[in-house]
Amino acid sequence: MTGASRGIGREIAGRLAEEGFDLTLSARGTDALREAAAECAKRGATQVRTVSADMAVEDDVRQVAEAHRTAYGRLDLLVLSAGVGSAAPLGSYPVHRFDKQFAVNVRAPFLLIDACMELLRSTAPARVVAVSSITGRAPEPGLAAYGASKAALTALCEAVNTEASADGVAATAICPGYVDTDMSAWNHESVPPSEMITSSDIAELVIAVTRLSSRAVVPYLPVVRTGSALWRA
């Protein structure tokens, strides 16, 4: 799984460890990744391998896929949790921020799915779960590039289902509103952490998806905060 060293990804990794999964964890920061691996071992994982990788670098992305294939020879669940976000209004949006978000939030997941598809098919039934965002379905001011990248990620999961679900490989995009992680700290004045969705909520949904029968395909799961607005980020 990607983005395993902090936030949502780290909690997902820990829950998968409790469920007995053997894990390949990836993130940029070596020290934080090592800490996440140690935590997973304490929570029950028998085998935990780590691969330091930058999801904006194609060779790093492919290295993650190859490291897992070499270590295990099977892939029951591919979790795509790495992501970046940047807020700025239209009319003055720095294009390099746009490019970085699409590289990490869309291109890297596409490359990983593509690189792992043969292994997923040979392991089937297997799952792909991507941490997307409600902004890909209900855009917010200032998050045009981020929302567009997450909409593309959700669409990618839906495309996987059309191509591979008949072969036993199903994909789900989990699309939450604001989750209480470092990535959402910039918006604490508008949305206090106490009102945000928790990382454990998202991790619980990932576990639930893994327990579905191979007959069930869930293309995407929106998760919104409490309140009177249906698509409340």
pLDDT at 232: 85
152 within domain boundaries? yes
The enclosing domain of 205 has a CATH number of 3.40.50.720
Residue 100's H or E segment, with its range, is helix 95-102
Over 90: is that where the pLDDT of 202 sits?
Answer: yes
- Tokens 């991507």 correspond to 130
The answer to whether residue 11 sits within a structural domain is yes
Residue-wise pLDDT for 125-145, tens only, equals 999 999 999 999 999 999 999
Burial degree of 87 (CB within 10 A; 0-12, 13-18, 19+): middle
Does residue 119 form part of some domain?
yes
Domain range for residue 208?
7-223
**How far is it, in rounded angstroms, from Cα 113 to Cα 66?**
12
Kind plus residue range of the DSSP H or E element containing 162 = helix 144-164
What pLDDT band is residue 78 in, cutting at 50, 70 and 90? very high
In a domain, 230, yes or no: no
The residue behind tokens 């952490």 is 193
Q: Is residue 232 a part of any domain in this protein?
A: no
Residue 201 lies in a domain: yes
Judge whether 39 lies within some domain.
yes
Residue 229 corresponds to which tokens in the numbers above?
């607005």
**How many domains does the chain contain in total?**
1
* Phi, psi dihedrals of residue 24, rounded to the nearest 5°: -115, 115
Portion of the chain with pLDDT greater than 70, in percent: 100
| Confidence (pTM) | 0.95
- pLDDT score for 53: 98
Residue 229 in any domain: the answer is no
Q: How confident is the model at residue 228 (pLDDT cuts 50, 70, 90)?
A: confident
